[in-house]
Every structure is written in C-alpha cells, then in structure tokens.
Structure 1
Amino acid sequence: MAKKRILLKIGSNTLTKETNHISRGKIEDIGMQIAALNDKYEFIIVSSGAIAAAKQFVKLESNGKEIIVKQALASIGQPHLMRIFHENFSDLGLLTSQCLLSYSDFEKEQSKVNIVNTINILVENNYIPIINENDTVATDEIQFGDNDKLAALTAVLLKVDLLIIATNTNAIYTKESIHNEIPETIPLVNDLQLLEKEIGDSKSSHGTGGMKSKIEASAIAKEANIETWIVNGLKDNFILDALKNNIPFTKIK
C-alpha cells in the first residue's frame, strides 16, 4: 500500500514554543511523531524559524532597513535551524534535507517540474524535505504569511493527501466564544466564506501569519481537493492526537 503524504507546516511560534529561542524539545516531539507514523505516512515539512534561530545569538543594526535585516537574519539562522532539525531527527533514525523555494519558482513550469522531481526522489529515499522560503532573495513570507501560503502551494504541487498547519491555539475559535472569553474550536468547515467572518486580523507574535493567512492557505488547498487541518502545535503529540481525533482542531474539508 502506498503511504499517505502529509505536508506539515510549522510556524515560528510553534518552533519556539512562544519563547525567544528554537525549542529542541518541540523539534524532537515532531520527529518522534514522524518516526511513529513512518509505516503509513510520508512527511514533507515547511518550516519557518530561521529568523528566530538567528535572534538567539546575534543582533544586527537595522538603520531603518527592517526587511533587509530580517533577510540577513534568515541567512544566518537557516543553517542553525537545519542543524537542530538534523541533530534531533538523526537521533531518531530520520534523514533530513533542505529545500529553499520562492514564489517565482511556482510561476515557471520547468521550476515546478524540478521541485516535484527533486522532492519525490528525496521522499522515495526516506529523506524528509524541510522547506523554507529563500528569504535572502524574496521577502513575501517575511512580510506576511509565515510560510502558510508557501505550504499550500507546495501541498498542491506535490499532490499531498493532507495539509496540517501547526499553530499556537486550539485551531480556529468561534467569534462569539472569544467574545465570551471561553474559546471554542470550530471542528469542521465546509464554507470558507462563513469562516472568514469568524476570524480577526491578528498576527502571531514571532511569525507574520495569523488565522487569516491560514484560511487563505486552506482555500488554495481546498481548490485542489486537499483537506487542511489547523492544529495546536504547542501540544506534545499533536499530529498523533489529531489523527486519532483526541484533541480539538479545525478540519477544513
């Protein structure tokens, strides 16, 4: 039986566990879940966190050039982020590889063919592709989205079976429950237009996303008949628990 393909998008808030540094424990938690699911699922990861990785040990002067500084921080932090993934995943017997993409890659037919061929070869040979935006040449995700849109475009291109977006809440809450200060997760969504009315425009603290960018990402996936799950990635075993339906999360059909 062919394995089901999951694209897992991990945002900065999940990777840092809402602190100011990358959480090795969280990366180990993700690796342990992937190892446990290895018989039935193959994983492709879209990961933010390069800027957060750099901020742990370097401070650059901005001189009013915030975006350029963030690009530089991403350049410094990306190898450190990959090293942390490699060290934690290899301890679990998992092989990792790095892929840096930009939106222009999705506009050229040959580039899209190259992405698919490369990632398929990696997956066939038991390597987990870890994808991030190439922030040194593009700024789209730095300014808005925290890789949500990149994850959705990649999910469509690679024809995955499921897109899981890890976030720092119990997925999407009803507007009324937030107003009442007793957050209640919306479990199932069929109509994205109705869903958009339930959310605000808030952005995440470390990342540049928020629920709006996640819904926009799920709309891209939905058009290609790919289901999206928005899950609280701060919890241990969030992938395993979501697959068993043991935790509240939002499923967008």
Structure 2
Amino acid sequence: MHTLRPALAGARRIVVKAGSSSLTTPQGAIDGDRIDALVDVLAGRRKAGGEIVFVSSGAIAAGLGPLGLTRRPKDLAIQQAAASIGQGLLVARYTSSFQRYGLGVGQVLLTADDMIRRAHHNNAQRTLLALLRLGTVPIVNENDTVATDEIRFGDNDRLAALVAHLVRADALVLLSDVDALYTGDPRLPESRKISDVRSEADLAGVRTGSAGSKVGTGGMVTKVEAARIATGAGVHTVLTDVSAAEQALAGEPVGTYFHPSGQRPSTRHLWLAHATTGQGRLILDEGAVHAIVTRRKSLLPAGVTGVHGDFAAGDPVDLCGQDGRTVARGLVHYDASEIPDLMGRSTRWLARELGPEYEREIIHRDDLVVLDPPR
C-alpha cells in the first residue's frame, strides 16, 4: 500500500523523542505499559533494518514518586535529586523492555554545555555513531543531575533536533500527549489541526503557548522550534501523539508533517546556529551587516562599532546591527578586551601599527553563520 509520506516509511535512521508525560503517570511514576508499547514499535522498526536513536525525557518525572512528590519541584537541587533517582529507574526499565527483542541499549547523557563545546559535541557524535554500528539502541537524555541551564533546555525537543543532525538522521519523530499542531489550544472548537507545514507561512497566526505538562518542561513552542532546526537541516519531521508512533514511522498521515525546508548544512554551521549561546555581542555598521548577511563575507575590524560582554578568543559571539537585532553568530579571533583598539581600523593599518599577526579578520566566514530568522 502506497503511503502518503514515503520519506518516513523509507527512512533508514530515525531519531524518536518522547516527553515525560508520554512515559509516566500523572503522579510521576514510570508507566511500564506505555514504555513497553513504545518499545514494541521502536524494536519493530529496528528489527526491520532501521536504525533508531531514542531521545527520552522522564528522569526527573520518574524520580518524583520515590521522593513522595506529586509535581515537578521548582527548586533546582530537588530537580537534580529527582533526576538522580529517576534516571536509573528509567534506563533499567528500557533495558528490560528492549531485551524482550534481544536488543541492547546504550545510555548517552548530554547537557547543553556538551552541545556548546565543540570537542564535547564531536565526542557525542562519535559515541552515538559507534553505538549504532554496534547494533544497539542509544537512549539519549539530558544530564539533569548536574546541569543547570540544561534543565530548561526545552524538554529535550531542541536536543532531539540537534541529535538528528548529529547522527545524520533521515527523520525525526516528536511524540507528545497532543496528536498534532493546532492553530490554538486543541481543546477549543475554533482551533484547527495543521497537517502539513511546508514553510513559515503555514505557521502564521499559530499560537503555540509555552507551558508543558505538570511533569515536563516543554510545550508546543519548543516542538515547533525543534522542527525548524531539523527541517532546516533537511530532516523530515513529524509531531504526533505517542499512541500514533507506529503509524508515524510507517509514513501514515498522522500528526503534523514538517517538510524539509533546506539543504543539510555542515555540522559546524548547525552547531553554531543552534547549539551555542553568544558569550557577548559585537555591534556592526550597515556595511558590515550587508557584507556578512548578503555577501557572506568575513567580519573585519573596520565594520565593528561596539563590543559588549566578557569573552575570550574562540568563544561564540552574536553579531548585531545598529538596531540591536542579532543577524549572525561566529567564533571570534580576539578577546573582548582587545577589540576596542581594533574597531574601525583596516587590517592593513593594524598590521603596520601593531604587527603582522593583527592582519586578520575578527571572525572568518568559515566560522560564521547567518541567523535566519534571527535568534
């Protein structure tokens, strides 16, 4: 039977992400039946010759019950304590469930810092690809026990999109407790289901909100952002309810299908755009903004009019126009303290006055990515 989404049905390598509310009871306990049902689907695709990377939330949620908590705590230390208990319970449950099919699992815990630091980023990529070559199912989760900013990383949605690019996945399936993206609150009769998203125009007027379930951290806004990241990297993406996982992987027309919107960029550029945070800001004149955004040129000292923040050479920094809007991000070649003496000067003047080592750009075009839309 011909499917309406052959790119999903024929995908060889798929990243599947499930949120906390899809894996646990409302009270926070691990829902064994739900996990087994999802593993049945994933193992089926794996046995059929596909490769699966499973990005699983639920560590904090799984730790709530043993601690006698009924909701996700606001206190960071309690969140981390819950994660330290819940992560072991969660992986043990996955291990036993996948063993029913003779499949092993490998746990990969990541933080936002692992994505920001390029060496860590490359190590994560090598580990994930090695696990796939060895025939196991990588179980990826955020390392909630030690992270701080990572706790608010987006309920693993953005992480799942970055992992999809990291492993060169063909498809990303985001499983939620909502069956699709709607124009508004799906509980309201005036809200309309969106079956396909081919461009930003299809999202015009969509109200995604920001809050997730009482045991999770995400919301529809993080899932749409994850879909933007993935489709911008050429990855076919589906958002649907966890109960429709099998149909989504089979290419059936369930949920919302986000069509790829761009060619797969280099890992370096995707890493810069979506996995880093600017450690400072450089303010550019109009000519420099045009050179970077339109002509894709390097940033020279002559085009810089201001510097903000405390950063070191090699750090990612945001490049802003005179209106303060961020237009690009790149890896800077100078410390923040050095740049004021370079601003507005030509590289030839700098080489003559300060030495030949200053005859270079502030950011080389190979280390620079235009942010479109700006972030």
Please tell me the TM-score bracket, short chain as reference. Answer: 0.7 to 0.9
CA distance in 2, matches of 1:129, 1:196: 36
The Cα of 1:194 is off from its aligned counterpart by 4.3
Task: Please say if residues 112 and 153 of structure 2, whose CA atoms lie closer than 8 Å, have aligned partners that are also in contact.
Answer: no
- Flag the 1:241–1:65 CA change in 2: closer, same or farther, 3 A: closer
1:12 aligns with one of 4, 20, 36: 20
Could you say what secondary structure the match of 1:97 adopts? strand
Answering whether residue 157 of structure 2 is matched by residue 159 of structure 1, we say no
1:86 aligns with 2:95: yes
Match status 1:227 vs 2:236: yes
Displacement after TM superposition at 1:141 (Å) = 4.3
After superposition, the CA RMSD in angstroms is 2.3
Task: Find 2:217's aligned residue among 208, 211, 214.
Answer: 208
1:252 paired with 2:258, answer: yes
Partner residue of 1:55 out of 64, 67, 71: 64
> Which of structures 1 and 2 has the bigger CA Rg?
2
Conservation of the 8 A alpha-carbon contact between 1:172 and 1:249: yes
Greater mean alpha carbon deviation, residues 170-179 or residues 120-129: 170-179
Kindly tell me: are residues 175 and 98 of structure 1, through their superposed partners in 2, closer, same or farther at Cα, counting changes over 3 Å? same
Any conservation in 1 of the 2:172–2:235 contact (CA below 8 Å)? yes
User: What's the counterpart of residue 23 of structure 1?
Assistant: 31
Unpaired runs of 5+ residues, structure 2, are: 1-9, 260-375
Q: Does 1:71 align with 2:80?
A: yes
Matches within 5 A, 1:128-143: 128-143=137-152
Q: State the shift of 1:156 in Å.
A: 1.3
1:178–1:184 Cα contact (<8 Å) kept: no
- Superposed CA deviations along residues 84-110 of structure 1, whole A, max 9, x for unmatched, are 111111122221110001111122332
What is the rounded CA distance, in whole Å, between the counterparts of 2:109 and 2:148 in structure 1?
13
Map of 1:218 onto structure 2: 227
For 2:194, what is the secondary structure of its paired residue? coil
Cα 1:117/1:5, change in 2 over 3 Å: same
How many residue pairs match? The answer is: 245
Q: Which residue of 2 aligns with 1:197?
A: 205
Which residue of structure 1 aligns with residue 278 of structure 2? none
Q: Which residue of 1 aligns with 2:127?
A: 118
Identity of aligned residues (%): 36
Residue 40 of structure 2 aligns to a residue whose secondary structure is helix
Q: Which deviates more, 185-194 or 217-226?
A: 185-194
- Please give the alpha-carbon distance, in whole angstroms, between the structure 1 residues aligned to 2:252 and 2:76: 40
Structure 1 unaligned regions, length at least 5: none
**Distance in 1 between residues matched to 2:82 and 2:141, nearest whole Å:** 14
Deviation at 1:139, TM superposition (A): 2.8
**2:189 maps to amino acid:** N
Contact 1:192–1:219 under 8 Å retained in 2: no
- Structure 2 length normalisation: TM-score? 0.61
TM-score by length of 1: 0.88
Q: Deviation of residue 20 (structure 1)?
A: 3.0
What's the CA shift for 1:184? Answer: 4.1
Shift of 1:59: 3.6
CA distance in 2, matches of 1:199, 1:209: 15
1:29 counterpart SS class = helix
Distance 1:175 1:164 in 2: 21
Which among 228, 245, 252 is matched to residue 239 of structure 1? 245
Classify the secondary structure of the residue corresponding to 1:21. coil
Q: Deviations over 1:36-61 (max 9, x none)?
A: 2122311001111011111121147x
**Preserved CA contact (<8 Å) 1:11 1:147:** yes
- 1:145 alignment partner, one of 154, 158, 161: 154
Deviates more, 1:195-204 or 1:152-161: 195-204
Q: CA deviation at 1:208?
A: 0.8
